[in-house]
Amino acid sequence: MPSKPRAVTLADIARLANTTTPTVSKVLNGKPGVSDETRSLVEATIQKTGYQPRATRRQTAPLIEVLCYEIDSPFGSEVVAHIEQASRQGGFGMVLTGANADNLPHPGWVDDVVSRQPVGVVLIACRLPEADRKRLRSRDIRIVAIDPAGTPAPDIPSIGSADWKGGYLATRHLIDLGHRRIGIITGPADMMASAARQSGYTAALEAAGIPIEPSLIRPGQFHHADGLAEGLTLLSRPDRPTAIFASSDLYALGVYEAARSLGIDIPDQLSVVGYDDLRIAQWAGPPLTTVHVPLARMAQDAVHMIQRLGGEPELSSSRTDIETTLVIRASTTVPTKVSK
Amino acid sequence: MPSKPRAVTLADIARLANTTTPTVSKVLNGKPGVSDETRSLVEATIQKTGYQPRATRRQTAPLIEVLCYEIDSPFGSEVVAHIEQASRQGGFGMVLTGANADNLPHPGWVDDVVSRQPVGVVLIACRLPEADRKRLRSRDIRIVAIDPAGTPAPDIPSIGSADWKGGYLATRHLIDLGHRRIGIITGPADMMASAARQSGYTAALEAAGIPIEPSLIRPGQFHHADGLAEGLTLLSRPDRPTAIFASSDLYALGVYEAARSLGIDIPDQLSVVGYDDLRIAQWAGPPLTTVHVPLARMAQDAVHMIQRLGGEPELSSSRTDIETTLVIRASTTVPTKVSK
């Protein structure tokens, strides 16, 4: 950005973009009645000049926008609840919008956000096209990502948890119990959090001198159906694993169902470790041993980051990882009762 | 309301309340800088005159406010997700706020709502004090309730499902399988939905000539812990029931855990029927037979009601009940394997 953004006025932008001040205002506020061509030109000029429309920020109760990948997923809904609480305590209203199946915003979302003039945007397991990021930046709307989907954008600070350590702790717990054949159901390969969990799994096995068996590493998209399907695949093998590290609680419930349908008892014949420590982990039968992810803390940090960054001229890229811990419940035990 | 609300101006209200037009404007827009006394007087005058501030409605992307009892509960999060989708399709942004433990808004909520000028408010299993309802009405902000908590307010249209029928279908299904000792875990007695479910249970037993046994009717607050505690109470009896109608899916998961801890197999030794048909019902082991509540339809109707009512001068109280159906999965069977 240029060194003196405050000097730029609406009139400057109108002149540079060869249009009128009211038209620039319409573009700034996401209003209709501007041709695509003019809008693009004005957008480019706003970004080029680093125009900062702080003085026009609405004076009503301030808003934080949340874009969430699956609002009604156990993970999404718990993070949203924590952000709502942190926002409320900070004096913000929270506007919540669901993303599309690719974890991207629906068409028109960024226009609506611009028109609502929030203080900031929190992305939950979502990503934004570069054009949207630029538009938000040009309006001084800050962006923070929680567990970003895909490769994290270099210019968005993100908050996650210690995924590698979580994967390591989960696997190490199973090894300590005596398990040697340990399967894993991983998340999307392009998601940093899932890659880190898998890497923790691999490191724990290697540290114990247990060879990595690629056929025990199964893919998924963090859905219950993946846990069920991959659980069936793993448990139908004659040399089935005695333990599965399901790298999400929802996977673990799918594995439970696979085991139930095959008549395999948890934990006596199969140990299962989940990931996230959502409330469904406590409600599972048996209650699930899992990696606790501090969602409340992550949500608070996201909101605080938006508040703290509010007055600063420029964002620096950063990544905050919050500590994970293992919560041992009833789904893991020694592998004594399996003959193999 | 009076017959010609359009005739009233800000200046009229200022004159009647013995204050200035800017002060009235501050009160209308939820801004600070007005004494409590003056604010009360202006509020009363606004309500008395039926002032309709339509012309001042904000011109940005319109908002719908949602007040939800427990955002991260399985029920709350699924309803919220459906409202978000219906709002988005209707061109609205959705502001989401959590309620307190009594299903009432936190202090300051109504001020924030007034300052945000939404088109309407959707209450999910919540209620509003009369003063809040009047303030929203005086700003032409419409209110719709989904499954209202407590006794529904007479002046708020509400949307629910056919709870009595659902309770009847669930109990009738168990009777048809051959069960005679059927327990029930009910919701809060002052909540219409739970009272209706219990009444359906009673009616189905009576229709089959089965006497009602009060000790088999257990109370709860729709939490997992109630399902576990009351499940343990029911299943620890020497004359334990062979089936339990858990009047929420979350209760059913608690009953699952109670049965598991007592070594009672579902469905061979205990049939369980839930209520709501949330996604956790499909993820349970075994998958849960339950009453399907059309949450998507209820959410759409709530949003449509706010849109449709937007231009009408007065609300009439109404109650819409949407049809429920029974979804039979793997948690119910004939009671052959219980000796009693």
DSSP letter for A198, please: H
Q: Tell me, what's the pLDDT at B57? A: 44
Q: What is the mean pLDDT of chain B?
A: 89
Topology, domain A163-293: Rossmann fold (3.40.50)
**C-beta atoms surrounding B211 within 10 Å:** 7
CATH topology of domain B59-160+295-322: Rossmann fold (3.40.50)
Predicted confidence band at B256 (pLDDT cuts at 50, 70, 90)? very high
Give the span between the Cα atoms of A258 and A230, in whole angstroms. Answer: 9
Q: Which of B96, B111, B285 sits opposite A96 (nearest CB)?
A: B96
Q: What is the ipTM of this complex?
A: 0.83
Q: Enter the tokens of residue A129.
A: 């096209």
A81 close contact with B: CB closer than 8 A: yes
Positions of CATH 1.10.260.40 in chain A? 5-55
Residues of chain A under the 50 pLDDT cut: 1-5, 54-58, 310-311, 313-315, 337-340
Among the four given CATH numbers 3.40.50.300, 1.10.260.40, 2.60.120.620, 3.40.350.10, the one describing domain A5-55? 1.10.260.40
Terminal Cα-to-Cα distance of chain B (whole angstroms): 64
Distance CA A285, CA A296 (A): 25
- Residues ≥6 apart with Cβ < 8 Å to A317: A154, A155, A156, A157
Indicate where chain B has its CATH 3.40.50.2300 domain(s).
59-160+295-322, 163-293
- Across the interface, of A58, A106, A116, the residue whose CB is closest to B88 is A106
- pLDDT interval class at B7 (50, 70, 90): low
Q: Given CB atoms, is B78 within the 8 Å cutoff of chain A?
A: yes
The label of the residue with tokens 């060879």 reads: A211
φ, ψ (nearest 5 deg) of residue A142: -80, 155
C-alpha–C-alpha distance, residues A10 and B36, integer Å: 40
Residue B98 has pLDDT above 70, yes or no: yes
Mutation pick from B56, B232, B283, B329 vs chain A, by most beta carbons of A within 10 Å, is B283
The Cα–Cα gap between A155 and A134 comes to 10
- Structure confidence by residue, pLDDT tens digits, B259-298: 999 999 999 999 999 999 999 999 999 999 999 999 999 9
Residue A125, classed as helix, strand or coil, is: coil
What is the C-alpha to C-alpha distance for residues B231 and B244, in angstroms, rounded to an integer?
8
Q: Is B280 on the interface with A (CB under 8 A)?
A: yes
What's this model's pTM, rounded to 2 decimal places? 0.84
- Out of B74, B112, B279, the one facing A61 most closely (by C-beta) is B112
* Chain B residues inside the 8 Å CB shell of A80: 71-72, 77, 80, 96
Whether B93 has its CB under 8 Å from any CB of chain A: the answer is yes
Map residue A146 onto helix, strand or coil: strand
Least confident of A189-203, B25-39, B124-138, B311-325: B311-325
Percent helix, strand and coil across chain A, each rounded to 5? 45, 15, 40
- A263 touching B, CB under 8 A? no
Element (H, E) at A131: helix A130-138
Average pLDDT in the B43-72 region? 76
